[in-house]
Structure 1
């Protein structure tokens, strides 16, 4: 069984080991539609093959802004294993398997129940030694979101 699934419309790679339901409201009052979303890798040069994590940060003057950075599969697993995603309120940019979300691709929190037990991502999370410090590359990525590990 393959870990990756290619999304046909945008050539994004979906991490199907993580699935989160998302309900879309109809613009004209019709029925709501529930779709399954997965984290997807970016297709841009500097962040090619990486997942976008997003958090809200309060700036001086109480202005809330969204900060994001891109992390690899292994870094995402490490952040999840160490509880960093939950502790600092991170969400992950998601995409539907059948194509793009009608608006901007939403961000969703990844709960333990969203991860397929025994999947390669679940095994990667379990294989993390949480006593080891984060790599320089991961610490640098997190600095973009005002997090110092």
Structure 2
């Protein structure tokens, strides 16, 4: 399922020098077992020894809304795995920084972000998911 309430413009570059085509990308839910129906968020972290690696985790619709409401995605430099609206992308689906400005105002996702009580601590499930990316809430 595509979350069309969030859209980011993307122009892939072809390694063969073809004409660039602009696509609109949206977060999409995974179709694999444990992460079925969840969105993938990705973060680059520096491992001991100065090696940079990417860590990812999967979050639900409500958890993604909570992360936006609390500013966690921006604060810790998370990106979201995106997919083209037609479902076809010539390479591996890219990750993009998705700012709150990319959320369609008045959409169900925007309303879910506004409904989050930021004074409440994150749920245990969300804290566990973020722990994989070296983020502690």
TM-score using structure 1 length: 0.90
Cα distance per residue 1:3-25 (max 9 Å; x no partner): xxxxxxxxxx1000000011012
Would the aligned equivalents of 2:6 and 2:103 in 1 still touch at CA under 8 Å? yes
Once the two structures are superposed, residues 9-68 of structure 1 have per-residue CA deviations (whole angstroms, 9 ceiling, x without a partner) of xxxx10000000110123332321110000000000000000000000000000000000
* SS in structure 1 at match of 2:58: strand
**Is 1:111 aligned to 2:99, yes or no?**
yes
Question: Does the 8 A contact of 2:43 with 2:54 survive in 1?
Answer: yes
User: Runs of 4 or more off by more than 3 Å in structure 1?
Assistant: none
Q: Tell me which protein shows more strand as a share of its residues.
A: 1
> Is the aligned partner of 1:45 residue 2:33?
yes
Q: Is structure 2 residue 15 aligned with structure 1 residue 18? A: no
Aligned equivalent of 1:148: 136
Q: How many residues align?
A: 137
Q: Is 1:133 aligned with 2:121? A: yes
Contact 2:68 2:100 in 1 (8 A): no
| DSSP-derived class of the 1:33 partner | coil
Q: Which piece of structure 1 moves more, 33-42 or 105-114?
A: 105-114
1:142: how far off?
0.3
Offset at 1:112?
A: 1.9
TM-score by length of 2: 0.97
Is 2:2–2:29's contact at 8 Å kept on the other side of the alignment?
A: yes
Moved more, 18-27 or 113-122: 18-27
Partner secondary structure for residue 67 of structure 1:
strand
